[in-house]
Copies of this chain bind each other. A is one copy, B any other.
Amino acid sequence: MVSMKDISVACGVSVATVSKALNDHKDIGEETKQRIRQTAKEMGYFPNSSARALKTNKSYNIGVLFVDEVPQSGLTHDYFANILDSFKIAVEAKGYDITFINCNHMRKGRLSYLEHSKFRGVDGVLIACVNFQDPEVVELAKSDIPVVTIDYPFKNRLAVMSDNAKGIQDLLKYIYSMGHRRIAYIHGQTNNDNVTGSRVKFFVKTAKELGLKIPKEYIIPGKYRDIPNSAKNAGRLLNMKERPTCIIFSDDYSAIGGMNEIKARGLNIPDDISIAGYDGSNIAAQIEPQLTTIVQDTRMIGRIAADNLINMIENPESTKPEHIVIEGLLRKGKSVRQIGEK
């Protein structure tokens, strides 16, 4: 590990000079600067992030808090994995690295999320896919560390959110425009999250605006990404006397569960019954029939989150914490049929 010390002796200058030369300070002669940089390169020098972070209090490291301790979550969650993927690319392009925040013990004792973030000295944190009611999450979000949350708005904090209101609205309006009047919605479980609440609220609101009257039994609390569960709930709807002509599922995976149940009963999609999903996962575009869904713009969400977080880190004064809403896009697919004349 060649350090500035090594370069300084090799060049016959002080370490201070080396540091300044490498950091392009103006009070070093052009000739010396070049000589130092040259030897640095020749000796294979590169900085030590710990030393630099210790001195400057800046780590060029961003913490990511995904739900942890539970396997099969966060990273394996299609929607969040895509957001993280895009977030990662954006921050790395600006010279930042990503470290996961967790609540595990180190050699001694357990650290809270906030403590862990400070322990690692991260410059900012992305919070996604967690229980936002968790006191530790709240503590971190309200701390003095720059924070951006996904799909949940904290007051006076940066948030990037998928436009669930408009999404469900677009979806419902489209289904309505295809002639459907009996439309059911199997939504995800809501633990006070912003997402489900928003979707259900705007589903009801839009239905009212369209003059639809949706029976209570048409709105079913289900579970996200639970195929057997959604199959069961779809079954309940299919058993009704007044069966819906279209079922909206909480997400694309759940829609697949519904498809299975529907097909198992010998019904055809969309001839006998129409369905729609939510998310716009890759798989949804490829199954037969292609699923009608709202494509959430994960690429944009991740990028915007990254750009704004870094902006907040680098210009704390000039940035004010907004709640940014990113629209999704209706993918019509083939799973909702036209009813009646056009």
Residues of A within 8 A of B (CB): 1, 22, 46-51, 53-54, 59-61, 68-69, 71-76, 78, 81-82, 84-86, 88-89, 92-93, 95, 97-100, 102, 104-108, 111, 115, 118-121, 227, 253, 256-257, 259-260, 263-264, 282-283, 286-288, 299
Copy number in the complex reads: 2
Across chains A and B, which 8 residue pairs bring their CB atoms closest together, nearest first?
A95-B106, A50-B53, A50-B54, A75-B85, A227-B286, A50-B50, A92-B104, A99-B99
- Give complex CA distance A84, B61 in Å: 20
Partner of A68, one of B47, B89, B95, B120: B89
Main SS of the interface on chain A?
helix
A81–B74 alpha-carbon span in the complex (Å): 10
A257 touches B283 (CB 8 A): no
Closest to A111 in B: B46
* Interchain CA distance A54-B1 in the complex, whole Å: 12
Using Cβ atoms and an 8 Å threshold, which residues of chain B touch A72? 82, 85
- A121–B48 contact, CB under 8 A? yes
Complex Cα distance, B284 from A253, in Å, reads 11
Q: Which residue of B lies closest to A303 (CB)?
A: B71
Q: List 17 A-B contacts (CB under 8 A).
A: A46-B111, A46-B115, A46-B119, A49-B50, A49-B119, A50-B50, A50-B51, A68-B89, A72-B85, A75-B82, A75-B88, A76-B81, A76-B82, A99-B99, A253-B286, A257-B286, A260-B288
Distance between Cα atoms of A51 and B57 in the complex (Å): 11
How far, in whole Å, are A183 and B46 apart by their CA atoms in the complex?
A: 55
A115 to B75: give the CA distance in the assembly, Å. 27
The answer to whether B104 and A120 have CB atoms under 8 Å apart is: no
